[in-house]
Structures are given as structure tokens and as C-alpha cells.
Amino acid sequence: MNHLTIQEHSIIRQILSETKKKNIDNISRTDAYFDYFKKNPDIIWSFLASMVSRNGGWNMCDLNGSTFSKLIDAGMRKQLFLTYERANWLIFHDVFPQLLLYQYSTKINKPMFHLLPYFNVSAFIQKEWARYWKENDRKRLTTALIINEQNVIQTPVIEHPVYNKKVFHSMIFSFQDWFHFSCVLFPTCGGEVYGASVNGFKSLSKRINLGKRLSSILFHPRLFPYFLEFAEKTPHTGSRYDYEQYFKIKIIHKTPLLRTSFPIISHHRHTYEDWSKERKVSPAWLQLKARHHHPIHLTDWYFAKSNQLQLLLALQKVFEFNKWK
């Protein structure tokens, strides 16, 4: 770092400080992504990140909600929360410096991407930012950021021995994966829900494909204004009430607020490996077209899944009742 100018040292310090300040919990991250998008509307990935991050918060709060708290024991719920939280934190830690450096570059109208290595980001994404500066291809950059962030969590979260054994091979995770309960939802203020479900979450290629599918839904010319209205009008609390409040039919189960349910977790990144030096970028990842095998309008699906969960809860009570008879 010795050959950097005083100004460059200052930029790096400021970016690291702002990233740390906003990487506190799921709510601060979600808000930071959305605020960034409002200031830099050409970086559409940041709106996608904020809407996917909302889902991360809802999934966390579900764990302490009226249904899952009865279906899953406390130890497993804690482990699931820590997994969501770790992935959430790692992605933000990796990507937010990239976003801030781009924002700074636009202010001085000069690319500053030679500073990206000081934030330990992959060689792959460094090239993609330089390419975006020249070509201004939003779709390509969005796809590249999806590829990068899913690779960032692959080794330290998905393949991590503890998470792998305790979470990704657990009964409840397989159950969620199998029944498509894990779904990324984009709500509207009109009480409609769109999105796509995650099946095969452990597969890197499937997660990248999901990211591309979600992007094509979120930025669909007809639907985008409705999602933007929802994001602007609805503060993110982590509770499913954030979007269930707009439903025509009222939902009975309740989910708590994130900040009253979970503590702030202190994270560290112990080692850094450039994933793009370890893994080859599959040509399929870079294909911009997303394939939808299922309907994207999920309002009816959502109500059906809620009913299935209530049924599961009722069955569990019956089993427990018979067990103690």
C-alpha cells in the first residue's frame, strides 16, 4: 500500500469504515443496499440485493414466529439464524466496498478500480467492474455480481464443515428444500406476491440461476414500479407483517420483529481466498437469459404454503397428544 497517494489511502479507510458501520445486521444491510440504489439507479443489482436481503430477514424472523418455534427446537433455530446471518454478512462485507468505490469513481468521473484488490475482492469481479465502466452493460454486471456473491459464500458457508453438517444435512433444511418452502418473495402494496422458490440451495449453479431468475422478475418492465413502490413505502422490520399487511385475506400466524428477536452478531473474516483462482467460471453462469420453469405469480401459492404449515403444526400436536396418552 506504500505506493498509494494520501487521497487513495483516505478513500480505502472511508470505504472500510462505512462498510463496517452498515454491516451490523440484516436491517442495516437491507437499508444500505436500497439507499445505494436510490443514489446509483444504474447499479440495479443493489435493488435486487435489498429485496433478497428483506427475504433473509423474514426467514430469520420466521424461526421465532408462531409456527417454526413450535416445529423446530431452539438449538436448530439458532444454528439456522447464524447460517443466514453469516452468509448475509459475508456478501455485504465483500460487495459494499465495490459499490462505494464505483460511486466514488462516478463522482470524480474516473475509474478507481485499481483500488479493488485492497478490499480482497475476486479477480473475476475486478475485471467485470472495468468492463462495466467501458461498456455500461447493466445486465452483464448484474449477472457478474450474482455469480461473484454466490461464489463468495460457497466455501465459507455452504461447504463449511459446521454449517454443512448441522444445517445443510439437517432434516428441516432438506424438508424446506424439498417442499419449496424456501422462497424469495417480491411483494406489492396491492397484496400480490411474485418470486421464485429455491430448490437445491447447496448447488452453486442453482443459486446463480435463481439470482438471474429473480432479477428478471424484479426488473420486469410491468412489475418493477410495483416492487419499487413497496420498497419505498414499507420499512424493513424482518416481520412477515411487512407484506402480509397488504393482503386482502388476513393471515393468522405472526412473526416478530428482527431487532427484538436476535442479538447483534460480531463477525470476522479469518482467511481470504480468491474463489476465481480456485474455481472456473462456467459459461452457463454468464448466460444472461433466465429460464422460468414455474409461474412467477405466487399469491395463491403463498396462501397454500401457509395452510400446509398450519396443517403440519396440527399434525405435530396430534402426534404429541397420542404420544402422551
Confirm if 207 and 150 have CB atoms less than 8 A apart: yes
Mean pLDDT confidence for 24-39: 98
Please state the length of the chain. Answer: 325
Helix (H, G, I), strand (E, B) or coil at 158: helix
What is the per-residue pLDDT across 177-210, written as a single tens digit (0 to 9) for each? 544 456 899 999 999 999 998 777 788 999 999 9
Is the model's pLDDT at 80 over the cut of 70? Answer: yes
Would residue 238 count as lying in a domain? yes
Q: What is the pLDDT at residue 277?
A: 95
Q: How many CB atoms lie within 10 A of CB 109?
A: 6
Q: Name beta bridge partners: 196.
A: 184
Would residue 153 count as lying in a domain? yes
Q: What is the pLDDT at residue 176?
A: 56
Mean pLDDT confidence for 301-317: 75
Core vs surface per residue 149-187: b (16+ CB within 10 A) or e: bbbbbbebbbebeebeebbbeeebbeebbeeebebbbbb
Q: Name beta bridge partners: 297.
A: 194
Q: What is the pLDDT at residue 175?
A: 56
Mean pLDDT confidence for 212-240: 97
Would residue 28 count as lying in a domain? yes
Would residue 49 count as lying in a domain? yes
Where is mean pLDDT largest: 66-80, 157-171, 253-267? 253-267
Would residue 31 count as lying in a domain? yes
Mean pLDDT confidence for 23-46: 98
To the nearest whole percent, how much of the chain has pLDDT over 90? 67
Residue whose entry in the numeric block shows the C-alpha cell 447447496? 202
Residue whose entry in the numeric block shows the C-alpha cell 452483464? 140
Indicate the angle between helix axes 74-108 and 6-22, nearest 10 degrees.
150
Q: What is the pLDDT at residue 179?
A: 46
Helix (H, G, I), strand (E, B) or coil at 297: strand
pTM comes to 0.92
Query: How far is residue 6's CA from residue 234's CA, in Å, rounded to a whole number?
Result: 41
Amino acid at position 22, single letter: K
To the nearest whole percent, how much of the chain has pLDDT over 70? 90
Would residue 13 count as lying in a domain? yes
Residue whose entry in the numeric block shows the C-alpha cell 416492487? 227
Amino acid at position 25, single letter: D
Domain membership of residue 311 as a residue range: 6-324
Would residue 1 count as lying in a domain? no
Domain count, the chain: 1
Indicate the burial class of 208 (C-beta count within 10 angstroms; 0-12, 13-18, 19 or more).
buried
What is the per-residue pLDDT across 147-184, written as a single tens digit (0 to 9) for each? 999 999 999 888 877 767 777 666 666 655 544 456 89
Would residue 255 count as lying in a domain? yes
Strands (DSSP E) along the chain, which ranges? 183-187, 193-197
Whole-number CA gyration radius for the chain: 20
